[in-house]
Amino acid sequence: MLRIKQLFLAAMASVLVISCDSKKEVSLNGNIENNTADSIYLINNDIRKSIPVKNGAFSDTINISKPGYFKFYAGNQFAWLYLTPGAELTLKTDMNKFDDQLKFEGKLSNENNFLAKKTVKQIAMSGNPSEFFKQDAVAFKQKIGNYKSELLADLEKSKASNSFKESEKKNIEFEYLLMLAQYPQAYSFFTQKETEMPADFEKELSAVNLDNEEDFELLPSYKDLVLYQISRKIDEVGSGDEVEKIIANIKSQNIKDGIMSQLLMYTISSGGPNAQKYYDIVQKYSQDDDLKKRAATEFEQVKRLLPGSPSPEFIYPDINGKDVALSDLKGKLVYIDVWATWCVPCLQEIPSLKKLESDYHGKDIYFVSMSVDQKKDFEKWQNMVKEKELQGIQIFSDNDWKSQFVKDYNINGIPRFILLDREGKIISADAPRPSDPNIRLLIDEKI
């Protein structure tokens, strides 16, 4: 099953591309008070640039041929920048109050100050995803509708360029539609129950063309919407052959490559049940040589994790200090949860995991939770296991992310769930989460 890595929206912005004959330098400088990062990073579809920071100050140039939106990273802080060829932009903020203090001067200051204020509004509206998505459908739609109207009014009053305003209007609309699309699944995730959607709740989504190459390249929110909607379709069909039909029917080659790169590659790199099929799809339909090479490299690393392969082993201490070996658990199914005390998505799965364990108590299945916390957090892990009354077999890996079992399963993100059969062979190296009803179907099929 694919991972939809974000259930809620980060503030996004759009850009109207204007053709240029040659690349021109953009001058970017700034100062970040209380800075702890040694570099800041600028990233968009075509460019990845690292700029060193000294005593909070940075200054550099970047060559671009057309206006575009860039992701700006400083430590764990993030903002969107809008840059055009020949522009000069100065950024000022405080790392301790990054979003509230973010200000811009110079050419394009109006556009970027609008984006900074937009981020503050977005955080105020949906900064707590749990509370945001727990609202009933009618209240949720009204809230995001009001948010959209406020942004459009702010945009109209701003002194930003007309070209920026036109693209940003589309971007705001796609943000709204993305939140609509996310709501049903997010509501179920945070409330652990289904909601009856009003008949016309997703009516606006049905009119969206998901194969618009120009918008995919220009508008970050449209790109996120396309990825989200296509990922839902892929999850719904399940079959690798049906996924191939979805990819084959996409007219835009850029969108096709984008879908394969950002959705299919996850399953390939994690050794999921469809890893072989998705690898074949990438090799058949991609025109991006780098993507095809990356898929080949990833698949070579995880071929040993395909269904039916013997699982890599582990021997780690449990909560009482007794060594537990995976080989000792043969004779029953084994459902492994790789997690950490600092991982918010991991913690959000705990109620569903406890319910799953309770429902299958006494049946032929072991539940194993493997912490990849650092050794210095061993006591924190012990306390959390006791405080949250976690059940099943609780073990602590020997070397956090560098633990051999973690490396053997090519785990780069958590939570990660693994299901093994009675002989210790892999059923799924990337099994559904406890909150996903499909895990019960898979267990019932194999138990």
Q: What's the CATH code of the domain at 114?
A: 2.60.40.1120
> Is 230 part of a structural domain of the chain?
no
Residue 8 has pLDDT above 50, yes or no: no
Q: For residue 404, is it within any domain? A: yes
Return the amino acid letter for 430.
D
**Overall average pLDDT of the 350-376 stretch:** 95
- 182 and 292 inside one domain: no
Q: What letter does residue 9 receive in the DSSP assignment?
A: P
Shared domain for 60 and 109, answered yes or no, is: yes
Residues 156 and 302 placed together within one structural domain of the fold = no
* Residue at 182 is within a domain: yes
Whether residues 321 and 301 fall in one domain: no
**29 and 96 inside one domain:** yes
Place of tokens 């633990």: 403
pLDDT interval class at 151 (50, 70, 90): very high
Helix (H) or strand (E) holding 175: helix 162-191
Q: How many CB atoms lie within 10 A of CB 237?
A: 14
Distance (Å, whole) CA 57 – CA 359: 56
- Burial (Cβ within 10 Å: 0-12, 13-18, ≥19) of residue 150: middle
Residue of 160, 200, 228 whose CA lies nearest to 16: 160
Which of these three, 191, 206, 226, is where a domain ends? Answer: 191
Other Cβ atoms within 10 Å of 128 Cβ, number: 11
pLDDT of amino acid 7: 36
Q: Dump pLDDT digits (tens) for 261-305.
A: 999 998 999 888 899 999 999 999 999 999 999 999 999 988 899
Q: Are residues 412 and 271 in the same domain?
A: no
Residue whose token pair is 């990356």? 294
Residue 389 sits in a domain whose CATH number is: 3.40.30.10
Q: Give the separation between CA 163 and CA 148, rounded to whole angstroms.
A: 19
What pLDDT is stored for residue 367 in this prediction?
Answer: 98
Q: Which of 269, 285, 306 is the last residue of a domain?
A: 306
Q: Residue 20 pLDDT more than 70?
A: no
Same domain, 268 and 146: no
pLDDT reading at 22 higher than 70: no
The verdict on 38 and 182 lying in the same domain is: yes
Contacts of 225 (CB under 8 A, 6+ apart): 174, 177, 178, 181, 208, 210
pLDDT score of 194: 76
Q: Which residues contact 364 (CB under 8 A, 6 or more apart)?
A: 331, 332, 333, 422, 447
Measured CA to CA, the distance from residue 94 to residue 99 in angstroms comes to 8
Tell me if 141 is assigned to some domain: yes
113 with 257, same domain: the answer is no
* 294/341 same-domain check: no
Which band of pLDDT confidence, cut at 50, 70 and 90, is reported for residue 2? very low
Domain shared by 336 and 268, yes or no? no
- Has residue 5 been placed in a domain? no
How many domains does the chain contain in total? 3
- Of the ranges 138-152, 227-241, 245-259, 365-379, which one carries the lowest mean pLDDT score? 227-241
End residue of a domain, out of 257, 287, 306: 306
The pLDDT of residue 250 is above 50 = yes
| DSSP three-state, residue 66 | coil
**Would you call the peptide bond into 415 cis, given omega within 30 degrees of 0 as the criterion?**
yes
Predicted TM-score of the model (pTM) = 0.81
48 shares a domain with 148: yes
Answer whether residue 37 is part of any domain: yes
Residue 277: inside a domain, yes or no?
yes
Is position 257 within any domain?
Answer: yes
Domain with 377 in it: 315-446
